[in-house]
């Protein structure tokens, strides 16, 4: 039955990671895979997470299944972090939250829910967007359309073109927006631009579908949720996928959630029941360990304070690396300005290089990034900064 299946090419980013691992150059630089890295090049276990895990090991008494919706405290944490503890949507019980296997699980569960509610729905995604959005959404049978977002030539959001295109979106459409730290561009909507999106959604009737994978990595926990909270204030419906992979470093634990804002509490319960039914057919019950860590860190004052401090440290380190990289690149040449990197947020930015230049960086200098020159800024450190800047400048010739 399976002997007719052809072998597929490896995922481009995973393939890039494998090539980096096999490279014997001691100066090699990995700017490909999108995980946070320390100055030593490690993806750390946060101290608050390590302490929460130690407590869990001492206190857990069962390995029984989690409830269908997941760990209640983790769901509460996800909802309160996203919307704010006193947000009207929460106090009015208009929000239903379900724990999912990571942010990817949240996106796929949302896609199945949307397809169940309206098989003819269309989801508009930004150009560019995170590559995995496409398979996660289309695997549920949904149709995708694109709206302009990032102007590669000018290194900024092409907001006028974005808004003009989204005037085509209507009541059967959802618009996928990145809450903060846009992946892969790092270019985020301003508060006034979020307000314009809210007005357009209200006028056109489309539903915002927000992916918030990097809350706390942009400007801060509350600042990064500005768009989510504004749209929940303004509109009757909102779909939100969240992840703790980055801001708690729980990548392999697959700790995420799907929250759906409905017009009223009765409808929210109906949507929640449908979401749980779909989840039952996808993965039955969500995993416990990562969500239990989220619950414990969020609801233990000492751990929560420690987490916020560690998260601030990661955010400020990335912002500092952006400034340093811009300084090193601009000091070495006058052909191209890289100031835009410092204006962007989160782990990612485009360098604005051609595929040929990216290939040269890999083959001649062992500097690894995706073909579109998207870099993970967290892969830069004091040890490789000068080498990296020298290599980039050499391929600009």
Q: Which of 4-13, 59-68, 88-97, 189-198 has the lowest mean pLDDT?
A: 4-13
Average pLDDT over residues 159-166: 98
**pLDDT at site 233:** 94
Instruction: Provide the whole-model pTM.
Output: 0.93
For 391, half-sphere exposure in the C-beta direction (CA atoms, 13 angstrom radius) is 23
Q: What percent of the chain has pLDDT over 90?
A: 89
**pLDDT at site 21:** 87
46/48 Cα distance (integer angstroms): 5
Tell me if 308 sits within 8 A of 88, measured CB to CB. Answer: no
> For residue 329, is pLDDT > 80?
yes
Strand, helix or coil for residue 53 = helix
Q: What's the CATH number for 65-299?
A: 3.40.640.10
Beta pairing partners, 127:
148
Burial class of residue 216 in the structure, from the number of CB atoms within 10 Å of its CB (0-12 exposed, 13-18 middle, 19+ buried): buried
Distances, alpha carbon 174 to alpha carbons 207, 208, 238, in Å: 5, 6, 9
> For residue 11, is pLDDT > 80?
no
122: left (phi > 0), else alpha (psi -120 to 50), else beta?
Answer: beta
Q: Which residue has the higher pLDDT, 186 or 17?
A: 186
Q: What percent of the chain has pLDDT over 70?
A: 100
Q: How confident is the model at residue 179 (pLDDT cuts 50, 70, 90)?
A: very high
For 222, the enclosing helix (H) or strand (E) is: helix 221-224
Average pLDDT over residues 215-224: 97
360/42 Cα distance (integer angstroms): 26
Burial class of residue 51 in the structure, from the number of CB atoms within 10 Å of its CB (0-12 exposed, 13-18 middle, 19+ buried): middle
The yes or no reply on domain 12-44+304-395 and CATH 3.90.1150.10 is yes
**Any idea which residues carry the catalytic annotation?**
130, 211, 246
**Token pair for residue 372?**
């579109």
Average pLDDT over residues 259-273: 97
> For residue 5, is pLDDT > 80?
yes
* pLDDT, tens digit, 9 for 90 and up, residues 279-326: 999 999 999 999 999 999 999 999 999 999 999 999 999 999 999 999
* Three-class DSSP labels, 109-131: HHHHHHHHHCCCCEEEEEECCCC
Q: Chain-wide mean pLDDT for the chain?
A: 95
Look up tokens 């949307």; give the residue.
Answer: 114
42/40 Cα distance (integer angstroms): 6
> For residue 150, is pLDDT > 90?
yes
Average pLDDT over residues 223-245: 97
Beta 29-30 vs 255-261: how paired, if at all?
A: unpaired
**pLDDT at site 397:** 74
Tell me if 268 sits within 8 A of 46, measured CB to CB. Answer: no
Residue 160, number of CB atoms within 10 A of its CB: 9
**pLDDT at site 352:** 92
- Listed in sequence order, the residues at least 6 apart from 135 whose beta carbon sits closer than 8 Å to its beta carbon are none
**pLDDT at site 14:** 75
363/377 Cα distance (integer angstroms): 20
Strand, helix or coil for residue 351 = coil
> For residue 388, is pLDDT > 90?
yes
**pLDDT at site 237:** 96
Domains of the chain, by residue range, sit at 12-44+304-395, 65-299
**pLDDT at site 196:** 98
* pLDDT, tens digit, 9 for 90 and up, residues 338-370: 999 999 999 999 999 999 999 999 999 999 999
């Amino acid at each position: 039955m399976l002997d007719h299946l052809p072998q597929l090419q490896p995922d481009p980013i995973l393939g890039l990671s494998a090539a980096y691992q096999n490279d014997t150059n001691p100066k090699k630089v990995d700017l490909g895979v999108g995980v946070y890295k320390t100055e030593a090049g490690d993806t750390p276990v946060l101290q608050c997470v390590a302490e929460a895990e130690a407590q869990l090991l001492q206190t857990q008494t069962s390995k029984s299944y989690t409830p269908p919706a997941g760990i209640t405290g983790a769901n509460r944490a996800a909802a309160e972090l996203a919307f704010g503890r006193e947000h009207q949507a929460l106090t009015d019980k208009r929000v239903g939250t379900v724990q999912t296997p990571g942010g990817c699980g949240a996106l796929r569960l949302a896609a199945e829910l949307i397809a169940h509610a309206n098989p003819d729905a269309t989801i508009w995604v930004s150009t560019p967007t995170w590559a995995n959005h496409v398979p996660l959404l289309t695997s549920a049978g949904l149709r995708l359309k694109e709206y302009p977002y990032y102007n590669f030539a000018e290194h900024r959001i092409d907001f006028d073109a974005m808004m003009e295109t989204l005037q085509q979106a209507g009541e059967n459409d959802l618009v996928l927006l990145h809450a903060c730290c846009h992946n892969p561009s790092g270019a985020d909507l301003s508060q006034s631009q979020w307000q314009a999106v809210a007005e357009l959604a209200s006028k056109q009737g489309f539903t915002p579908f927000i992916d918030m994978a990097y809350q706390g990595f942009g400007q801060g926990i509350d600042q990064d949720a500005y768009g989510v909270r504004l749209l929940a204030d303004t509109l009757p419906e909102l779909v939100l996928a969240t992840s703790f992979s980055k801001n708690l470093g729980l990548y392999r634990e697959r700790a995420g959630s799907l929250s759906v804002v409905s017009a009223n509490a009765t409808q929210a319960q109906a949507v929640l029941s449908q979401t749980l039914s779909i989840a039952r057919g996808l993965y039955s019950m969500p995993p416990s360990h990562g969500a239990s860590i989220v619950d414990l860190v969020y609801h233990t004052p000492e751990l929560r304070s420690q987490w916020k401090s560690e998260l601030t440290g990661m955010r400020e380190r990335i912002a500092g690396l952006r400034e340093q990289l811009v300084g090193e690149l601009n000091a070495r040449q006058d052909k191209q300005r890289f100031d835009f990197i410092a204006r962007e947020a989160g782990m990612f930015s485009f360098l604005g290089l051609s595929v040929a230049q990216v290939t040269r960086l890999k083959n001649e200098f062992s500097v690894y990034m995706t073909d579109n020159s998207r870099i993970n800024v967290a892969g830069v450190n004091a040890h490789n900064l000068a080498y990296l800047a020298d290599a980039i400048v050499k391929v600009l010739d």
